[in-house]
Amino acid sequence: MRVWSLLKTYTVMVYIFMFAPILVVLLLAFNSSQFGGFPIEGFSLRWFVKLYENDAITRAFRTSLMLGALTAIISTTLGILAALALVRYEFRGKDLITTFLITPVLVPETVLAVGLLIFLRWLHMPRSFGLLLLGHSIIALPFVVLVVQARLTGIRRDYEEAAQSLGASPLQTFFQVTFPLMLPAVFAGALFAFTISFDNITATVFWRPSGMETVPTQIFGMLRNSVSPEINALGFVMICITVGVPLLAGMLARYFSRKKI
């Protein structure tokens, strides 16, 4: 099939387009040159050391990690409750509610950011970490609802009914049957929310109080002149966190579920 191999080549080229620039960042993180670009002069870890010694970046890192973790907790809690309602119950206006739950995605993020900021201004409240946290949570919420809803649909009701017919109370059923079954969905939602928060720049630029930086806004600020080698090293670390952690979690989950069976 000549056409088929053409399609295959095309697909491979699109994948190269998607990943080549990212691989270049990963590669340049180890370049010993004092400039953040080509040519590659040698292998060195010094930019990682520099990164570790850079107070502004480590502070931004701590802010981002904290923000991501708290965002994950808030939006996953809200998202799971909402997803349970959508999956488990039939009620009037469900379609409308589903649409309403994804409105934070439908509103352009720039507009969402300005709107919340103006509301806060009207309330005479300054920008704060709390604003970032609430804002990130609302941005992540629709994604968490969709991800958790998709996973919950796969859980069969039979187990709960079996538990209850064997005499478990509704609370016992929830904590001993439903919740453990939901756990993968909870983790998937939380990881997604963390990544969305950790990655956000569009709204964060508007919401952050002066003097507070997250990793993306810190990089954005450092970019004004050129790409410094530290940014490459930082990119390497960020990719390790946001790609490595979910992959590892996925593999561990698979490993343990295999072990049980």
Partner 1 sequence: MMQSDQSADKRPWALLSPSLFAITILVVIPMAFILVYSFYENVDLAVDRVTFQFGNWQEVMTDGYYHTAIWKTLRLSVIVTVLAAILGYIPAYFIAMTKFRDKWLLLLLLILPFWISFIIRTLSWIHIFGNQGALNGLFRLLGLTDAPLSLMYNEFTVIIGFIHVFLPYMILNIYVSLEGIDENLEPAARTLGATPWQAFREVTLPLSMPGLAAGCLLVFVLTGGSYVTPLILGGPGDFLFGNLIYDAVVSELNWPMGATLSFTLLFLLGLVVVLYSRLMGLNQLSKAFR
- Of 65, 69, 73, 150, the residue at the interface with partner 1 (CB under 8 A) is 150
Task: Give the SS3 label for residue 122.
Answer: helix
**Residue 32 Cβ vs partner 1, minimum distance, rounded to whole Å:** 14
- Of 65, 116, 249, 253, the residue at the interface with partner 1 (CB under 8 A) is 116
Q: For CA atoms 95, 97, 98, 102, give the dihedral sign.
A: positive
Distance CA 27, CA 29 (A): 5
Residue nearer to partner 1 on the CB measure, 66 or 105 = 105
Q: Which stretch binds partner 1 (CB under 8 A): 47-55, 138-146, 178-186, 251-259?
A: 138-146
Task: Name 6's Cβ contacts closer than 8 Å, sequence gap at least 6.
Answer: none
- Binding of residue 70 to partner 1 (CB under 8 A): no
- Of 47, 51, 61, 135, the residue at the interface with partner 1 (CB under 8 A) is 135
Q: List the interface residues with partner 1, window 191-230 (CB under 8 A).
A: 195, 198-199, 201-202, 205-206, 215-216, 219-220, 223, 226-227
Distance CA 180, CA 162 (A): 15
- Binding of residue 233 to partner 1 (CB under 8 A): no
- Binding of residue 52 to partner 1 (CB under 8 A): no
Spatial contact of 219 and 239, defined as CB atoms under 8 Å apart: no
Can you give the length of the chain in residues? Answer: 261
- Binding of residue 78 to partner 1 (CB under 8 A): yes
Task: Give the SS3 label for residue 43.
Answer: strand
Nearest to 82 by CA among 158, 159, 138: 138
Q: List the interface residues with partner 1, window 151-170 (CB under 8 A).
A: 153, 160-161, 164
